[in-house]
Structure 1
Amino acid sequence: MSPAQPRVLYVTDLAYPAKGRRYCDEDIFLSSRLRDDFDIALCHPLDAAALMDSFDAVVVRNSGPVLHYQDRYDDFRDRAARSGTLVHNELTGKADMAGKQYLLDLSAAGHPVIPTIDRYQDIDRLPQVDEYVVKPKLGADSIGLEIVPRDRLDTLEYGGVLVQPRIRFRYEVSFYFIDHAFQYALHAPRPEERWVLEPYEPTAADLDFAQRFIDWNTLDHGIQRVDACRTPDGDLLLVELEDLNPYLSLDLVPSATRDAFVAELKASLHRLLSTAGAAKRAVTVG
């Protein structure tokens, strides 16, 4: 009889209608490959809190925007924290996992981020352009996003929204990480087609750019995606740091890259389990 494998609850909304992506295909593939190392069960995000105590760890993948079920997600987080449930990604992320406040903080600190404000009094901190992007602080998947002209900025209801200049960028590029290690990059060469992605070979400067945000987030166990735009001047600016449930577009990378990603994800989960086990043994001995 083979030894028991760690039990992992894989959280995904297989029916979520994502524009331009198929969440279900990605999660069927990933969960099937993780089964080599773990006993896997898939569940909808609304069922995670009730089921997670029967598993050694919980993997949150393509679970859809949590604002659609915010109370249930908050309950899941609270119960996981109280019970010491191991969650991948860890629930300590400072970026999209906690809302969009980080864009304000990073912008104010001088990081290479699209300039961001949340008060009309700070409008002078933004460059003067014809149009501005207004998005909810707790938004996701472009829900609630609005493009407004400059002369409408004084009519907005500030407090729950962010305002950024509309950047006429050359293209968007995404860098994918597991824990603190870079895995691959994809870019959308046509700005009007955000999810028509192609493999991208990053320069050393590109990787330094992306790594600074991964290091800032101090998330030891999890998958993160750094989304950036290339300005007409050739600079990169952060658009978003997705640290909750980033879609990975694994179907667009070469098979060798996909295999390497799966291997590193397995290793990350084993590290999470072993680190927690070591900590538990230390407490017992102490």
Structure 2
Amino acid sequence: MKNTVYILSFLLVLTSCSDFQKALKSEDTATKFQLGTTLFEEGKWNKANRLFAQIVPEYRGKPQAEKLMYMYAMTFYNMEDFYLSAYQLERFESSYPNSEKVEEAGFLAAKSAYKISPIYSKEQKETIEAIEKLQLFINRYPDSQYLSEANNMVKELDLKLERKAYEIAKQYNKITDYSASIKSCENFILEFPGSVYREDIFFVRLDSAYKFAINSVESKKQDRIKEALTYFQAFKKSYPKSGNMELAESMNTELVDLQQQFNTKS
């Protein structure tokens, strides 16, 4: 009995493969459309995609074009070819604005862009583009069933940009480019006022300013000490119970002593 089942299954696969190959080589677009639709419904995205790719130009302007273009775009999404799914889904959305699938296509186009976004340590051009596309979807479909997921993706991408900017500021501090670190921290505070890294960035700014001041040439040291002291006051006011407060107080003490030395000399 088991052998019979295996044989029947094997023959079914052979027949299926044979039908696909015949359709692939056929000149009959209707056959390709019909089999491609069947394969799409069975979740055989790669095979469906190969058939659809052959007939897309032939169906432009025809009644079946909307269904074909939707399925074609979705094969790329389901194959996780997100560059092409983003392009094809956006193309569908603009070509068929009255389609019942237009909202879904718009969301999945934006989600494809989200999927393309790289890890935080890499260049974030795609992340910025994904945020823009998701925000455009949110604005266009404020009552969408996909709204919650879209908002969550935006938050995740925003956090990735924050992490990138935070790590850049820390890296400047690490390589002793204190001026660049301070500037990066200032930009971060302005750009991400509600960031989870805000306390850390306040401390990195103070630490960079402190090191910048004590390692400066004499002619610039006094002004830089004054600047570092203002950053200490900002850190203390904003985060009085910070785990870095003891270290910050130590920096402040040293800076005050140096400032007094300058005042004594003058």
TM-score by length of 2: 0.24
Higher strand share: 1
Higher relative contact order (CA 8 A, sep 6+): 1
Higher helix share: 2
Looking at CA atoms only, which structure, 1 or 2, has the larger radius of gyration? Answer: 2
TM-score by length of 1: 0.23
